[in-house]
Structure 1
Amino acid sequence: MFDKFWSGRCFLAGYFVMLTLMLEAATIAPVHCAAEPITGGERFTIASKILGEDRTIMVSVPVSYAHGTQRYPVLYLTDAQWQFDQMRSSAGFLARNGMIPEVIVVGVANRDRTHDLYATRADFKSGGRVISFPTSGNADQFLDFVEKELIPWAEGKYRTAPLRILAGHSAGGNFAFHAMRAKPGLFQAIVAASPWMAWDDFRELNQLVPFLVGTGLKTRVLFVSSADEGAEMQKGIDALTAALRLRKDPGLRWDVASYPGETHDSTVVKSYFDGLRVLFREWNYPRDPQTNLLVGSLENVQAHYARFGEHLGYTQLPPEYVVNELGYQFLHAREAGRALEVFRYNTQMYPLSANVWDSLADALELDGKIDEAAASCRKAIALAEQHGDSNLESLRKHAARLAASTAEQK
């Protein structure tokens, strides 16, 4: 019954009735503390001078954040009061499975969505009915807050790479496009899930289409989605698709996804997951199709991730797990010299990781350098104790084995 309610012509009326209820229920009490733990992250309050009010911010950092010095892309998310858990879960799952790099997720809660996320004051009119949104149309001020307060706060507090992604759903998708047009270059990638472009008689869309085919676009990756959402939603998606097809820009990667059978609300789950995959499509390092082994050398790995980062305008280091796997390939092939080169590089890039020091100890042991291996293993144990590493007992067993080997040699 729910799907039928949201399908076809019923979508528009149902959507705005639901939107009205959501807006009434979306008042969020400010959190007056420096940081409050929440599931998968922390919640903060920013006292915004631009907005003249407190704003609730939710942040999730990668698991590896405490174990290194590397910097991470940042994904900024609107409607965090509803979608923060979904986004951090999707990003975490994809990163754990080696499909995208780890990212920091920074979500901002929107108390009054039409106020924050639409750039013009408008009411919704359909079939003789008028749904009033008297506070709508403040997106430019909200965008100023994002640019001048939220982003500097995040980049001052966390180790961020200069790759910013903006993701939003429905009104948030409209806002993402507005930000892309009003502040070119502020975000290098956009994920717009079921963007509601029909607001105010398609005013944002009418400005966006010529912008997309012009020369001002700085965005490098653009992902848009829709479901079975009615004629007005499809009109916006079709216009965006046509404009993107007219654009002859090999530096722009874009995709428009359709999810038949989904609703306006359910698209967000698939859209954020697929949007991240499109954004980081070239992330995975190539493997031999016959053996599934990584191909090439350390220099090849470095070059691959350098090219990946260059397309998006930032420096991307090879991930620890890829370098570690390459090192063990050389180790298993009894190429101790090449393994040592790879593992030493990993300790330079990720000096706070217990795992990289333990891997280096394995290579040193194979090369007959037992004392150096023992020292590397002790380094791994110290880091594991510091960070509560679950592999601590295994590391201690490794150290004991090396100590026994040293005793035998004496």
Structure 2
Amino acid sequence: MKYLIPFLMVLVFTNVQAQYPGVNIPGSEVRKITSKIVAGQEYELHIMLPAGYKAGDKKYPVVYLMDSQWDFPLVTGLYGEYYYDGFIPELIIVGVTWSGEKANYDSLRLRDYSPTKVAAMPGSGGADQFLAFMKQELFPFIESNYKADGENRTLMGCSGGAVFTLYTLFTQPELFTGYAAATPYIPWDNEVLYKYEQEFAKRRLGNPVRVYMTMGDVETTRPVYEKFAAHMAARHYPSVRLHSKILENTGHGGTKHETYARGLQYVFERPQLNLAASVLNSYAGNYQLPDGRTMQLKNEHGQLALYFGSNRMFTLYAASETDLYATAQFVNIHFEHASGKPSGCWLETYGNKQFAKKIN
């Protein structure tokens, strides 16, 4: 009876809670797609659209997240934080999971994420089919129904999902421009990922990719991971920017938030170009905003600095010759030209964009 009472209490608590509506994530929606490639499997897509999605015809980078049944709330929360700080652009997030109230995530993950069949793991070895589903069915669905940039995709996964992420990198690297792999299980099938990596090292990629990988420092597979990460780093792949990190005092499940947060920041990190002094000097001067306020740009030791009055606000870094940004806060500046000279700039801050006319 002492075991029955707590069980009944859980039932009562659950029933009471069921009377209240669930928590929804603003800006998100659920779509479903049935695959002809993966044996008629119905997948559920958790989709987050950026706040400015309905304005204009702009296309957005897409982040494809594995194991959305667990990690969609985490990643959408991280996206909001890092976008607010100006570290990442507006994104579409597509979380992929399996439909059904009684979906067996363990067996479905094993089937879709594992690259090879292992006799002791029945149902394994379906990564090629799942990858074909993404390429031939999922991408066309997303890119025909949403303003998605098919040239700017990122893949993120953890554990088995990270094995699939690295397998995709090694076998079809052209599908994504960014990869974030949290605690990949390198020992899978006698470390078979080495075989795929060996073939990948022989390739010359048409477009560069960025890869961010992690492992928790208390995990038992840490030595195997460190050996594999060092092997990758020693390759010095010509078109791959690679970063590996051991996360302090972190176990298997705890790697997700830092990997996805830092991974997104790494994948979308903008360059810091050195602009010619003549370009910087042409931008330096006073600018008037629509409300009458003025701001000043100064060339200080080869970089522009933004001032409001006598207050130095930000150092600006150049992503291109006409696009500059701050790292301390969400600030983007795009310069416009007339008759070969700067006529003003668009000043974009979080939730606001206005044109500042150059007055001298």
> TM-score of the superposition, structure 2-length normalised?
0.69
Among 49, 53, 65, the residue aligned to 2:36: 49
1:139 and 2:130 are equivalent in the alignment: no
Among 215, 218, 221, the residue aligned to 1:226: 215
Q: Separation in 2 of the partners of 1:54 and 1:296?
A: 46
Is the partner of 1:65 in helix, strand or coil?
coil
Contact kept, 8 Å, 1:74 with 1:160, in 2: the verdict is yes
1:269: Cα distance to partner? Answer: 0.9
Contact kept, 8 Å, 2:171 with 2:196, in 1: the verdict is no
Q: Separation in 2 of the partners of 1:284 and 1:98?
A: 15
Q: Separation in 1 of the partners of 2:213 and 2:262?
A: 10
**Larger helix share, 1 or 2:** 1
Cα 1:284/1:62, change in 2 over 3 Å? farther
Among 244, 260, 263, the residue aligned to 2:233: 244
User: Would you say how many aligned residue pairs link Structure 1 and Structure 2?
Assistant: 285
Give the root-mean-square deviation of aligned CA atoms.
3.5
Is the partner of 2:121 in helix, strand or coil?
coil
- Aligned AA for 2:345? V
State the partner residue of 2:254. Answer: 266
Among 301, 305, 309, the residue aligned to 1:288: 305
State the partner residue of 1:76. Answer: 64
> TM-score of the superposition, structure 1-length normalised?
0.61
- Aligned AA for 2:240? L
1:342 and 2:342 are equivalent in the alignment: no
Cα 1:293/1:321, change in 2 over 3 Å? closer
Q: Separation in 2 of the partners of 1:172 and 1:158?
A: 24
Q: Separation in 1 of the partners of 2:236 and 2:304?
A: 33
- Aligned AA for 1:288? A
Q: Separation in 2 of the partners of 1:201 and 1:292?
A: 54
State the partner residue of 1:277. Answer: 265
TM superposition outliers: structure 1 runs of 4+ over 6 Å? 296-299
Q: Separation in 2 of the partners of 1:189 and 1:77?
A: 12
- Aligned AA for 2:47? V
1:283: Cα distance to partner? Answer: 5.8
Q: Separation in 2 of the partners of 1:159 and 1:167?
A: 20
Is the partner of 1:149 in helix, strand or coil?
helix
State the partner residue of 1:300. Answer: 321
Most deviating of 228-237 and 184-193: 228-237
Q: Separation in 2 of the partners of 1:354 and 1:248?
A: 39
Cα 1:232/1:297, change in 2 over 3 Å? closer
Q: Separation in 2 of the partners of 1:220 and 1:81?
A: 27
1:257 and 2:245 are equivalent in the alignment: yes
Contact kept, 8 Å, 2:64 with 2:155, in 1: the verdict is yes
Cα 1:299/1:50, change in 2 over 3 Å? closer
Deviations 1:345-366 (A, max 9, x none): 99xxxxxx9954xx35x869x9
**Structure 2 gap ranges (5+):** 1-22, 99-104, 274-302
Is the partner of 1:121 in helix, strand or coil?
coil
Q: Separation in 2 of the partners of 1:296 and 1:54?
A: 46
1:170 and 2:124 are equivalent in the alignment: no
Contact kept, 8 Å, 1:228 with 1:264, in 2: the verdict is no
Contact kept, 8 Å, 2:306 with 2:316, in 1: the verdict is no
Is the partner of 2:52 in helix, strand or coil?
helix
**Larger strand share, 1 or 2:** 2
